[in-house]
Amino acid sequence: MSVDLSERFSMRRLFKIFALVGVVTIAGFQAPSIAVAYEDGEAGKAVVEGIITFKGDPPIPFRFDLMKFPNPKFCAQVDTDEEGNRVVQQVNVNNGKLQDVVVYIQDITTGKPFKFNGTDVKINLCRLLVQGGPSTLVGVVVKGAEIRILNDDADPSDPKAAKGVLHNPHAYEVLGDQSSTIFNLPLPDKGQVIKKPVILRKKGSVMKLQTDQQNFMEAYFYQVENPYYAIVGPTGAYEIDQIPPGKYTIIAWHPILGTREKEIEVGAMGKVTVNFEFSK
């Protein structure tokens, strides 16, 4: 049965219902709950740990003919095969252990202090290298915090690139098969830095960073809202500590393989083991 809101509710009363109830169903439509911002509080004593594995053979790496891109000799100094192709492996597996995964516990609104100083990326030898963690392919971002991109490339042997190899970082907001530009700015000089606040407008979206000149250069970022996350390195292991007791959703995200999630319950102390398995 349909409901005439203009007769039953004023806008003020409707807003109160959204704030108190979180989810309202009107004429078959369910409105989403309103997100609550994270606040520093008391750290918990529980730990969640686990291993990220990959089942089967990893995908073969991509190969890009560097002669089709600017500065081929300079870019060929690393990650290049005998035929002059840049080799890019985005699914890195070591003895069945998968790296470059972000593990994140959702729904925690208060706990240990969350001091996030932004996200740093360095461009080095025509690679986008995420800084400050065990992965150079993936990182995390926080809404409103800075992402900083440093150009560390210059080629003294090339007069046109002696002061810097031109790169053009292009940031996208990605949700499923849809993407939209966040910023697209040139970095012509070595030592130059782009600083931009992170703005992701769609729920569940992630950030992809690519360069327009050499589109084989890519990095990926998952947006977090609390400090209860880990970035997985070559061992496939992760650990998240100081978790307050409660029931949560924990996710494991890989930029190419997608997302896995599980429901967990954490006690006042002790360890909870949560493993994830990915495949093609």
Domain tally, the chain: 2
- Report the pLDDT value the prediction gives residue 36, as an integer from 0 to 100: 61
Q: Given this model, what pLDDT does residue 169 score?
A: 98
* End-to-end Cα distance, the chain: 46
Same domain, 58 and 10: no
Q: Domain check: are 4 and 52 in the same one?
A: no
Query: Are 28 and 148 within one domain?
Result: no
Same domain, 61 and 196: yes
Query: Residue 190 sits in which domain range?
Result: 39-279
- Same domain assignment for residues 239 and 270: yes
CATH number of 58's domain: 2.60.40.420
Question: What pLDDT score does 159 carry?
Answer: 97
Q: Are residues 265 and 209 in the same domain?
A: yes
Q: What is the 3-state secondary structure (H, E, C) of the chain?
A: CCCCHHHHCCHHHHHHHHHHHCCCEECCEECCCCCCCCEECCCCEEEEEEEEEEECCCCCCEEEEHHHCCCHHHHCCCCECCCCEEEECCCCEECCEECCCEEEECCCCEECCCCCCCEEEEECCCCEEECCCCCCCEEEECCCCEEEEEECCCCCCCHHHCCCCCECEEEEEEECCEEEEEEECCECCCCCEEEEECCCCCCCCEEEEEECCCCCCEEEEEECCCCCEEECCCCCEEEEEEECCEEEEEEEEECCCEEEEEEEEECCEEEEECCEEEEC
- Indicate if 234 and 95 belong to the same structural domain: yes
Q: Quote the pTM value.
A: 0.86
Let me know whether 23 and 148 are in one domain.
no
Average pLDDT, consecutive stretches of 10 residues, N- to C-terminus, the chain (280 residues):
39 38 34 62 96 96 97 97 97 97 96 96 98 97 97 97 98 96 97 97 96 96 98 98 97 98 96 97
Asked whether residue 49 falls in the same domain as residue 26, the answer is no
Give yes or no: residues 85 and 203 share one domain. Answer: yes
Q: Are 21 and 73 contained in the same domain?
A: no
pLDDT for residue 37:
87
Which pLDDT score, from 0 to 100, does residue 4 have?
Answer: 43
Place of tokens 């005439």: 4
Burial zone of 182 (CB within 10 Å; 0-12 exposed, 13-18 middle, 19+ buried): buried
Q: Are residue 30 and residue 140 in the same domain, yes or no?
A: no
